[in-house]
């Protein structure tokens, strides 16, 4: 490959379901965060534990020594875990030196992780923090991350007459300059929001300082009476649900006659530091008012995703306390309302860490989206850091142009006050008990929410663990439909029909124990989209002729979709 070919505009790719970075994407980046001091403190705690267990350490060291002896002798069965793509080059299995190097690393790595204190008396957060800190160390020291120890990098340099080293250095300097020193996860050049992303036709029908509301044009002769409002997470842009034709949830809903509206949150700056939960719930109510007035419906259905699902739940509690009936049925996707169960989101949600995070965002005025993206990447170091370290720098390749990865890199800020509100929810876990948190002056009791609710969780979701999401089935007072998808956080959202690998599970009853639910749940082939569309259609009223224009006298159609706010970057 010559340098001219290297710089060609690459063809946009549709991500494979098992792509390592996609499996690691968490969607809502962590609210708490971490810093070097916290990681070093966790390693110190682990070292203290190790020092207090000399017999255990000696026993594990002996096991490692014996295993290394077998590796040297060529009789060891140590092999990478299923899904570990770092050692995919044939040299790792065919070349005796590389094979032994790989086995020695894996044996040492396993021995180190065996030293983590997993006693039942130790809180799960402490265990997970120790595992995480140790993972940062062991994955950084993988031989694949070194140019001289990586056979694929050496082959690439030989095949390109050394040009891959030049390209890798160029990529490294570029990331130092424009990506905060982190390896880029996506080639952004082919993408432009409104050109090949977020293409569903529509118009902005309402705008205030916090958000725009977009109404989408009908794609059928008849539509249902009741509109659907999408409430996206404040920490990501809304077009995850409107990526590209054939992979757009918005397109799918509109093609089935659903009058679709979405909120597009503004990207806040430090001057917007005082936007909090009250302001965002008010914005949701304003968006509902617009959707209902335009369609002539007295109420609407709503769909909240992740942090947007938390905001949706708070709004529902407020409406229930106010006797407000403007919401009919509700869909919550990958939304964790109970933070007591183990999850990557709650791993660092200790009082000290939360207070430190609160102070940082209060000082800056916002929780910076780029900072969160870097934290997020280190939570999955192999998939979101070292994978691209090898690809971009050691092999000299550009990252692939995937639309989901572009969306993930298109991060937004959180206002300091909203960040504080989310941190309080994570620390105190007040939504599990009525009346322990208030929004717009009303105490929130989710048991008073009597709406029909459709809950979706992802079986391999690393940040909103499905068992934690399942807890919501016990928190609301209405009829619940719980659906478990077979994939992770983002793949649970972008899950169009046609994926032969897709599965979802539905249970006829909702016991308190999620594992008991799973035992009796029935597997269904395909996407939950097809199941959901029937559920929401049954709650969308009668059909009527589709409107010939967007907006109304009160809410006039303005800027074409995807609007203005989605383009803001700070």
Q: Any idea what the CATH number is for the domain that residue 223 is in?
A: 3.40.50.1820
Residue 287 forms part of a structural domain: yes
**Residue 197 φ/ψ, nearest 5 degrees:** -130, 150
Of 10-19, 276-285, 336-345, 356-365, least confident by mean pLDDT is 10-19
Of 267-281, 300-314, 408-422, 555-569, least confident by mean pLDDT is 408-422
The enclosing H or E element of 457 equals strand 453-458
pLDDT digit string (tens) for 80-132? 998 889 999 999 999 999 999 999 999 999 999 888 866 666 677 778 778 88
Q: How far apart are CA 299 and CA 227, in angstroms?
A: 8
Which residue in 284, 300, 306, 469 is the catalytic one?
306
Q: C-alpha distances in angstroms, 376 versus 153, 365, 416?
A: 27, 20, 19
Q: What percent of the chain has pLDDT over 70?
A: 91
Residue 361 forms part of a structural domain: yes
Query: Per-residue confidence at 342, pLDDT binned at 50, 70, 90?
Result: low
Partners of 229 in the β-ladder:
261, 302
Tokens of 363: 């000082």
Of the candidates 507, 501, 503, which has an alpha carbon nearest to the alpha carbon of residue 528? 503
Looking up tokens 């302001």 gives 279
Cβ count near 238 (within 10 Å): 26
Q: How many CA atoms lie within 13 A of 568 on its CB side?
A: 20
pLDDT at 220: 97
Mean pLDDT of all residues in 447-453: 98
Q: How far apart are CA 361 and CA 416, in angstroms?
A: 5
524, 504 contact by CB (below 8 A) = yes
pLDDT at 411: 84
Residue 462 forms part of a structural domain: yes
Q: How far apart are CA 92 and CA 106, in angstroms?
A: 12
521, 259 contact by CB (below 8 A) = no
Mean pLDDT of all residues in 219-245: 95
Residue 344 has pLDDT above 50, yes or no: yes
Residue 518 forms part of a structural domain: yes
Mean pLDDT of all residues in 214-242: 96
Q: How far apart are CA 389 and CA 383, in angstroms?
A: 10
Which residues have C-beta within 8 Å of that of residue 324, sequence separation ≥ 6? Answer: 318
Query: Per-residue confidence at 458, pLDDT binned at 50, 70, 90?
Result: very high
Per DSSP, 248 falls in state: B
214, 562 contact by CB (below 8 A) = yes
Residue 93 forms part of a structural domain: no
Mean pLDDT of all residues in 440-459: 97
Partners of 354 in the β-ladder:
none
Mean pLDDT of all residues in 491-512: 91
Q: In a 3-state reduction of DSSP, which class is residue 419?
A: helix
Q: Which residues of 143-163 are buried (b: 16+ CB within 10 A; e: fewer)?
A: bbbebebbbbbbebbeebeeb
Query: Per-residue confidence at 462, pLDDT binned at 50, 70, 90?
Result: confident
Mean pLDDT of all residues in 500-510: 92
Looking up tokens 């998939």 gives 383
Which comes out higher in pLDDT, residue 297 or 433?
297
Looking up tokens 């989710």 gives 446
Domain with 337, as residue range(s), is 202-567
pLDDT digit string (tens) for 313-337? 999 999 999 999 999 999 999 999 9
Taken in order 520, 522, 527, 529, is the CA torsion positive or negative? Answer: negative
Mean pLDDT of all residues in 469-491: 93
Taken in order 535, 539, 542, 543, is the CA torsion positive or negative? Answer: negative
Residue 512 forms part of a structural domain: yes
pTM: 0.88
Looking up tokens 């180190």 gives 112
543, 537 contact by CB (below 8 A) = no
**Residue 63 φ/ψ, nearest 5 degrees:** -60, -40
Residue 13 has pLDDT above 70, yes or no: no
Residue 27 has pLDDT above 70, yes or no: no
Per DSSP, 298 falls in state: S
The total of structural domains in the chain comes to: 1
Query: Per-residue confidence at 23, pLDDT binned at 50, 70, 90?
Result: very low
Residue 22 has pLDDT above 70, yes or no: no
The enclosing H or E element of 46 equals helix 36-51
110, 116 contact by CB (below 8 A) = no
Tokens of 420: 């504080």
Does the active-site annotation cover 211?
Answer: no
Of the candidates 499, 361, 505, 346, which has an alpha carbon nearest to the alpha carbon of residue 428? 346
Of 212-221, 498-507, 524-533, least confident by mean pLDDT is 498-507
Residue 485 forms part of a structural domain: yes
Query: Per-residue confidence at 9, pLDDT binned at 50, 70, 90?
Result: very low
Burial class (CB in 10 A: 0-12, 13-18, 19+), 537: middle
Q: How many CA atoms lie within 13 A of 482 on its CB side?
A: 27
Partners of 522 in the β-ladder:
506
Residue 161 has pLDDT above 60, yes or no: yes
Locate all alpha helices (DSSP H) within 296-386, ordered by sequence.
307-322, 351-364, 369-379, 381
Mean pLDDT of all residues in 532-544: 98
Residue 120 forms part of a structural domain: no
β-strands 228-231, 300-305: how paired? parallel
């Amino acid at each position: 490959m010559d340098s001219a070919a290297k710089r060609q505009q690459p063809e946009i790719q549709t991500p494979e379901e098992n792509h390592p970075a996609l499996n690691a994407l968490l969607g809502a980046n962590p609210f708490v965060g971490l810093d070097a001091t916290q990681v070093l403190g966790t390693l110190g705690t682990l070292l203290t534990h190790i020092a207090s267990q000399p017999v255990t350490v000696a026993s594990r060291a002996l096991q490692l020594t014996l295993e290394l002896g077998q590796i040297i002798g060529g009789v060891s069965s140590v092999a990478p875990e299923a899904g570990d793509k770092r050692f995919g080059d044939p040299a790792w299995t065919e070349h005796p030196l590389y094979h032994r190097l790989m086995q020695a690393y894996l044996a040492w790595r396993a021995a180190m992780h065996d030293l983590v204190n997993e006693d039942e008396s130790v809180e799960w957060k402490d265990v997970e923090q120790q595992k995480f800190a140790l993972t940062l160390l062991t994955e950084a020291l993988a031989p694949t991350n070194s140019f001289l120890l990586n056979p694929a990098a050496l082959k690439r340099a030989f095949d390109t007459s050394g040009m891959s080293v030049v390209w890798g250095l160029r990529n490294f300097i570029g990331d130092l300059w424009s990506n905060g020193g982190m390896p880029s996860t996506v080639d952004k050049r082919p993408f432009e929001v409104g050109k090949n992303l977020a293409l569903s036709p529509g118009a902005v029908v309402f705008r205030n300082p916090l958000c725009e509301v977009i109404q989408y044009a009908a794609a059928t002769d008849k539509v249902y009476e009741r509109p659907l409002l999408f409430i996206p997470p404040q920490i990501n842009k809304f077009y995850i649900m409107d990526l590209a034709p054939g992979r757009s949830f918005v397109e799918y809903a509109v093609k089935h006659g659903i009058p679709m509206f979405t909120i597009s949150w503004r990207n806040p700056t430090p001057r917007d530091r005082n936007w909090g939960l009250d302001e965002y719930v008010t914005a949701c109510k304003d968006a509902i008012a617009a959707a209902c007035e335009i369609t002539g419906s007295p109420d609407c259905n709503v769909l909240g995703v992740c942090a947007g699902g938390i905001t949706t739940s708070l709004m529902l509690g407020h409406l229930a306390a106010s006797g407000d009936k403007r919401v009919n049925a509700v869909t919550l996707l990958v939304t964790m309302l109970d933070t007591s169960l183990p999850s990557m989101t709650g791993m660092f949600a200790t009082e000290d860490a939360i207070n430190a995070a609160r102070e940082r965002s209060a000082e800056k005025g916002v929780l910076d989206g780029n900072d969160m993206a870097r934290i997020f990447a280190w939570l999955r170091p192999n998939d979101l850091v070292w994978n691209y370290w090898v690809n971009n720098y050691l092999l000299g390749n550009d990252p692939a142009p995937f639309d989901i990865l572009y969306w993930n890199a298109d991060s937004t800020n959180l206002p300091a006050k909203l960040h504080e509100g989310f941190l309080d929810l994570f620390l105190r876990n007040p939504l599990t008990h009525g009346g322990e948190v208030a929004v717009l002056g009303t105490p929130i009791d989710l048991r008073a929410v009597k709406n029909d609710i459709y809950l979706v969780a992802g079986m391999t979701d690393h940040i909103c663990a499905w068992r934690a999401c399942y807890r919501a089935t016990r928190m609301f007072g209405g009829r619940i439909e719980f659906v478990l998808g077979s994939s992770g956080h983002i793949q649970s959202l972008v899950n169009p029909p046609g994926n032969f690998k897709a599965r979802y599970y539905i249970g006829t009853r909702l016991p308190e124990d999620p594992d008991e639910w799973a035992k009796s749940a029935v597997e269904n082939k395909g996407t939950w989209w097809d199941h959901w569309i029937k559920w929401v259609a049954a709650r969308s009223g009668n059909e009527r002729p589709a409107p010939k224009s967007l907006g109304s006298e009160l809410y006039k159609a303005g800027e074409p979709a995807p609007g203005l706010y989605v383009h803001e970057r700070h």
